[in-house]
Amino acid sequence: MPPWGGAIGIANLFIWNTIISLLGGLILKIIIVGAGEVGYHIASRLAAESKNVVVIDKNPEAIRRVAENIDVQTIRASGSSPAVLEEAGIKSAEILLAVTNSDESNLVSCLVANMLSPATKKLARIRSADYDDYHQMFSLAAPHINTVINPEIEVVNTILRIMQVPCAVDMGELAGGKVIFVGLVLNSHSPMANLRLADFGKIFGQSRPLIAAIVRNDQLIVPRGEHTLQSGDVVYFVCEKERLQETLRLFGESLEPVKRVMIVGGGRIGHRLAKTLESESIHTKIIESNLERCKFLSERMDKTVVLHGDGSNQKLLIEENVKDCDVVVTLTHNEETNILVSLLAKNLGAGSTITKVSNFSYFPLISAIGLKKVVSPRLSAISSILHNVRKGKMLSVISLLREEAEMIEAMALETSAITNKPLKKISFPKGAILILIIRDDIIMIPTGESVVKHGDKIIIFARKQAIPKIEKMLTVKLSFF
């Protein structure tokens, strides 16, 4: 009850109810069609951020898993049914996410949702290459999909980015490619090893790297001045793209061009990757166990060598000179095979390995056995979806560290809590750090005296627990009176 009563209370009760109504409208309602791995993890993330989430799926086991583990509404039915979407509240939903394993079902769900609620933003996961040339058309005509998410394209882009910096275990671009973030394993010979972050300024001056995160023994550390870098840490740093080579030298690393790549697994991702590598004149081999698929690939490749065989066969890898490969990318449909082949290739002398893993439960194991470069179509899909559902003027959102944190690029709004006062007077949530301010294409490392202005681009690193508060800070403040 509101803290007032009597005649004044009656007058103010109307205002109180109006405020509650307005605030209720701010709670984002999202309908998720598909309770598979992507739908489950998206629902889990959004529910933890106090979003109003409804999950629809025909599979009773998938729906039971969601209902038992996540505080969301569930409906066991077809997400392409008009009656079901109306029951789920499509007309009051801000976003519909169609993320089933069927491209066709996702398209139909968006078509029906558009008929019932044209104002609802629609996102669809579409993986088939048959639709690649039509993504733009979907945003212009029926079924009018605002955003098409193809996790396979995102995974290929991730692999290509990691290949640009062979020493990196993770890499991404922000601010239209002007800013790079890189995650790398700090070796014992690095000039950075055993240095305190507070001493970086006097040692490296203006060239000092900006450390965004440290992972030590699978524990995420949001760095402060008193922290010391240790050998074996996975260190995430941010720098201007033009200074990448210079920054890597400070870590004792260098950029080495990739010349020879072996791909184990010639499925859709392997095919997409090989075509891109061909266009960049990188010598590429594909090992594929399915003979028919080999014929399909050989008919569509110009320079790539297509080999029929078992990529986990040590003799075959030796015969194909795996030791001379700069990178071995394992992309079969079998998670265990990908892990095994990456370990085998590493043991046989390959320069580095990149392993595709979709099952999130394998992630702790992979880190423990020394496979640092991992890509996941599901994680790529989740990153793309989160970018589209965040409130505030977010320009890009990249999930890091197996969903434990995010790198957020946002536009500062005039009346948001982060603008127009020194940073030292802003209470940032625990587990979050403002990394960069970009104003008129000038990149600035913030201090306590820095002031974020309307129109600035800002880059924030945050643990997932801090995301709701960061999101709130980035939205426009409401003034009711």
Of the candidates 126, 55, 104, which has an alpha carbon nearest to the alpha carbon of residue 84?
Answer: 55
Q: Report yes or no: 332 and 324 within 8 Å, Cβ to Cβ.
A: no
- Residue count of the chain, please give it: 481
- DSSP letter for 205, please: G
Residue (of 36, 302, 267) closest to 156 by Cα position: 267
User: Which residues make Cβ contacts (< 8 Å) with residue 372, sequence separation at least 6?
Assistant: 169, 185, 234
Pair 72, 48: CB distance under 8 Å: no
**pLDDT at residue 336 greater than cutoff 50:** yes
Any idea what DSSP says for residue 422?
B
CA–centroid distance for 156 within its chain: 13
What's 260-379's CATH class?
alpha beta
More confident of the two residues 189 and 394: 189
For domain 390-474, give the CATH superfamily: Regulator of K+ conductance, C-terminal domain (3.30.70.1450)
Where are the domain boundaries for CATH 3.40.50.720 in the chain?
25-149, 260-379
Which residues, including other chains, have CB under 8 Å from residue 19's CB and lie 6 or more apart? Answer: 480
3-class secondary structure, 178: coil
Helix (H) / strand (E) element for 389: namely helix 377-389
Question: Looking at the predicted structure, is the pLDDT value of residue 412 above 90?
Answer: no
pLDDT digits (tens, 9 = 90+) for 426-464: 888 888 888 889 998 888 888 888 999 988 999 888 888
* pLDDT tens-place string over residues 284-318: 999 999 999 999 999 999 999 999 999 999 999 99
Long-range contacts of 365-372 (CB under 8 A, 24+ apart): 365/339, 366/339, 367/218, 369/339, 369/343, 370/343, 370/346, 371/339, 371/342, 371/343, 371/346, 372/169, 372/185, 372/234
Report helix angle 291-300 to 268-279, nearest 10.
30
At position 192, the amino acid (one-letter code) is: M
Q: Is the pLDDT of residue 27 over 60?
A: no
Confidence of residue 173 (pLDDT cuts 50, 70, 90): confident
* Cβ-contact 409, 456 below 8 angstroms: no
* Residue 385, token pair as written in the block: 């979806």
Q: Which of 239-248, 290-299, 411-420 has the highest mean pLDDT?
A: 290-299
Looking at residue 274, its pLDDT comes to 96
**Consecutive H or E run containing 100:** none
Residues 214, 227: contact at Cβ < 8 Å? yes
What architecture is the 167-250 domain classified under in CATH? 2-Layer Sandwich (3.30)
CATH 3.90.600.10 for the 25-149 domain, yes or no: no
pLDDT of residue 1: 36
Segments of the chain assigned to CATH 3.30.70.1450: 167-250, 390-474
pLDDT for 115-154, tens place per residue?
Answer: 999 999 999 999 888 888 777 787 766 667 888 888 888 8
* Spatial separation of the C-alpha atoms in residues 183 and 201, rounded to whole Å: 21
What percentage of the chain has pLDDT greater than the value 90?
40
The mean pLDDT of 93-108, rounded to a whole number, is 93
Give the model's pLDDT for residue 391: 56
Query: Residues 254-263, buried b or exposed e (16+ Cβ, 10 A)?
Result: eeeebebbbb
Distance CA 115, CA 431 (A): 42
Q: Which of the four pLDDT bands, split at 50, 70 and 90, describes residue 41? A: confident
Output the CA torsion sign for 107, 113, 116, 117: negative
Is the pLDDT at 481 greater than 80? The verdict is no
- Average pLDDT in the chain: 85
Give mean pLDDT, residues 58-76. 95
Residue 66: both structure tokens together: 């969601």
- Long-range CB pairs of 342-347 (<8 Å, 24+ gap) are 342/371, 343/369, 343/370, 343/371, 344/312, 344/314, 344/317, 345/262, 345/264, 345/317, 346/370, 346/371
> Which tokens hold the place of 438?
């970009």
Per-residue confidence band for 171, with pLDDT thresholds at 50, 70 and 90: confident
Cα 104 to Cα 125: distance, rounded to the nearest angstrom:
10
More confident residue, 38 or 140: 38
